[in-house]
Amino acid sequence: MAERPDVVSLLQTLLRFDTTNRAPGDAEGELAAAMWIHDLLVGAGLEPVLLAREDAPDRANVVVRVPGTDPSLEGLLVHAHLDVVPAEPEQWSFDPFGGDLVDGYVTGRGAMDMKDMAAMTLAVLLDWASSGERPRRDVVVAFVADEETDGAYGAQWLVEAHPELFAGVAAGIGESGGVVESHVGAGGPVRLARIAAGERGTLHLKLTATGSSGHASRPTEGSAVLALVDALHRIGHHDWPLHMSPLVRAQLEQTAAALGVDADLDDDDGVLRTIDALGDAADVALFTVRASTTPTVVRAGYKVNVIPGLAEAEIDVRCPPGFEDELLAALPELVGDGVTFEHSVREPSVQAPIDGPWFDAMVASIQHVDPSAVVVPGCLGGGTDAKAFSLLGIACYGFVPATADPEGRRRSGLHGVDERVPVSSLCGGLEILAHFLATV
């Protein structure tokens, strides 16, 4: 019998598939990676399915269900995307698709986003298959395509076209969270891990202004460009009020307590002061305490002496849990007259319970491996595939565990250069994940 690959070599192999997600028709590497996973699982005696949209057979997903020993328990979903954002090799100090081991790190595009989770999950599945062990509850694992665009070929499509694959599933774990990192507290170093239990909603806007076109030397009232620029100015500079969701409040209170920082969450100034005092440990709280409306795309005109009749813009809009009605009510006045708007993306915020057995089991698993780690909940500023899976009523958490490297190495390079994870963090993360999946 062939020797079973360990988590490091599983990750190295995954990193060597170039699964770059450039555009809908330009992501052929996903199929090769999905087929490799599919065949590995079949070889281990599991029954995975390989699925892709009919119009895009390259954009492949793999889903496998491991039946639990207690059919009365609700199922758990584990999801990991196989695609990665592009890498510019000339800026890297190693091959982004080499999967090399360098100075105690596993290196490559996707090492922390999020082939690490795919590798750890595969390691657990292969271990169960060879030992005959089974989880208590059904565990459904989805290795998906296309997270780095919008999941139209991955999570979103699976949820729409194949909800039956997730029947009976009540909770899910996936991207972003569960990483133990060292922070400086009032009484010395504190090892802290944040489990994501929510995400801001995504409500991207497309603005369209129309006006009369003509010769630019004879301007008239009603310019499409000016109407659009005025709207962008109002929206982009709008000072959204603080809106503290119970999740972010819990995050700040618990993080402050762990670090010995005085939290003052009674008024806006106090909240901002608290976030500032927490520094890195506050993560993205500065953004998740309020909405953001960020103009990103502007299109108008083609020649300097011609007034265009059409001007368009796109705005990245993020909304904290519980603020959606207020945000939607404010938009018409901010956009103003002469400009129409529609939502190009409209995905509600995500919020999962932080006071129940799922969350407790994640905390217990982290502390099983690192007993002195403090675990707090948190909210993501952007979105992940959790948005799609939560449409099925699944309580989604960001939980891709990793332990702190004893020599201070850190995971780094997310969507940037030299992406890498410490070998020790990956192996520790596997221990946490295996404990969670076996005991939850």
CB of 327 to Zn ion, least distance (A): 25
The CB-side HSE value for 337 (13 A sphere, CA atoms) comes to: 1
Residue nearer to Zn ion on the CB measure, 48 or 110: 110
Nearer to Zn ion, 109 or 137 (CB): 109
CA gap 109, 420 in Å, rounded: 8
* Residue 116 or 370 with smaller CB distance to Zn ion: 116
Residue ranges in contact with Zn ion by CB under 5 A: 113-114, 175
Least distance from C-beta 177 to Zn ion, angstroms?
Answer: 12
Least distance from Zn ion to the Cβ atom of residue 174, Å: 9
Instruction: Give me the residue whose beta carbon is nearest to Zn ion.
Output: 113
Minimum Å distance from CB 333 to Zn ion?
35
Nearer to Zn ion, 114 or 123 (CB): 114
CB closer to Zn ion, 114 vs 291: 114
CB of 261 to Zn ion, least distance (A): 30
34 Cα distance to chain centroid: 20
Pairing status of strand 49-51 against strand 61-66: antiparallel
Directed axis angle between helix 423-439 and helix 7-16, to 10°?
A: 110
Nearer to Zn ion, 113 or 199 (CB): 113
CB atoms under 10 Å from CB of 355, counted, come to 9
Q: How far is the CB of 417 from Zn ion (least distance, A)?
A: 16
Least Å from the CB of residue 347 to Zn ion: 16
Please say which residue, 385 or 431, places its beta carbon nearer to Zn ion: 385
